[in-house]
Amino acid sequence: MSNSAPIGIFDSGIGGLSVWREIARQLPREDTIYFADQIHIPYGPRSLQEIRSFSEAITRFLLDRKCKMIVVACNAASAAALQHLRAAFPEVPFVGMEPAVKPAAETTRTGVVGVLATPATFQGELFASVVERFANGVQLVKEVCPGLVQQIEAGRLNTPDTREMLDRFLIPIRAANADTIVLGCTHYPFVIEALRQLAPGVNVIDPAPAVARQVDRVLQERGLLCAEDRIGRHRFVTSGDLDQYQQILRLLVNVETDALQMYWEAGHVVKM
Ligand code: DGL
């Protein structure tokens, strides 16, 4: 694997761009390929087995494009597939997502933490293991947030209907007196402003900066950091609607680009 090879990043949609933008900020020399599997969004309500097969095929697609590392910028895919991917591609470094229960449990004063995520994330062994290792007697109030991923995909970030939805998800979290909220889905940092307005004084944790630091550490350990003094190039791929994708890239991360369209055929990601 070469140092100048790109970092492959994927999510069910545009949520992983919250991780991509931190990687691009912290590691400006690195090239990236970002894959949004928008034809299959949302992943959250799907079975872990189905998410695992999507994740494996997308990983193959990114490795075929010579990626030196894969960032699973999706909590649902990390819960369903991270262990499997590491076993299936033992030579490839992977970085995945896990809900930030550890920093939340360390900093909460009320001893109550809200966790916003999708059903797949709460189902996986990864979440159970994070809770077992780090919750340390802290009470977790879990909310699955139906429909929120779709609102964010549609670019409806701080609109009255999204605020109303968030307000509803916050009811049990407020009632339990949580002072910290963990964003356990990579889409949710795009509504962090709205959440902070609706829950003043509550500490809302976006895990992306810590994940980007982990990407840096792993590349460093493996001697894979880009050594050239240059500005990284970024490519964006979707399995969904290209125009919509380009619009949301502009809106969310200020990227103007000709994105690439890929398709699914017999369980593989292909170009027509
Ligand atoms: N962004 C993804 C995550 O972090 C999931 C969204 C979805 O349900 O597709 O879990």
Q: What is the pLDDT of residues 30-86, one digit of tens each?
A: 999 999 999 999 999 999 999 999 999 999 999 999 999 999 999 999 999 999 999
User: Token digits for 152?
Assistant: 């964010």
Q: Element (H or E) spanning 128, and its range?
A: helix 125-134
Ligand 1 atom with the shortest distance to the CA of 79:
10
> Of 6, 252, 208, 213, which Cα lies nearest the Cα of 97?
208
The mean pLDDT value of the chain amounts to 97
Q: Report the separation in Å between the CA atom of 75 and the middle of ligand 1, taken as the mean of its atom positions.
A: 6
Q: Report the separation in Å between the CA atom of 119 and the middle of ligand 1, taken as the mean of its atom positions.
A: 9
Ligand 1 atom with the shortest distance to the CA of 43:
9
Please indicate whether residue 226 is annotated as part of the active site.
no
User: Token digits for 38?
Assistant: 């928008």
Paired residues of 205 in beta bridges: 182
Report, in angstroms and rounded to the nearest whole number, the Rg of the chain calculated over CA atoms: 18
pLDDT at 1: 75
Give the 3-state DSSP-derived string for 173-206, with helices as H, strands as E and coil as C: HHHCCCCEEEECCCCHHHHHHHHHHHCCCCEEEC
pLDDT at 124: 84
Q: Within 13 Å and on the Cβ side, how many CA atoms surround 47?
A: 3
Letter for the amino acid at 152? Answer: I
pLDDT tens digits along 118-169: 999 999 899 999 999 999 899 999 999 999 999 999 999 999 999 999 999 9
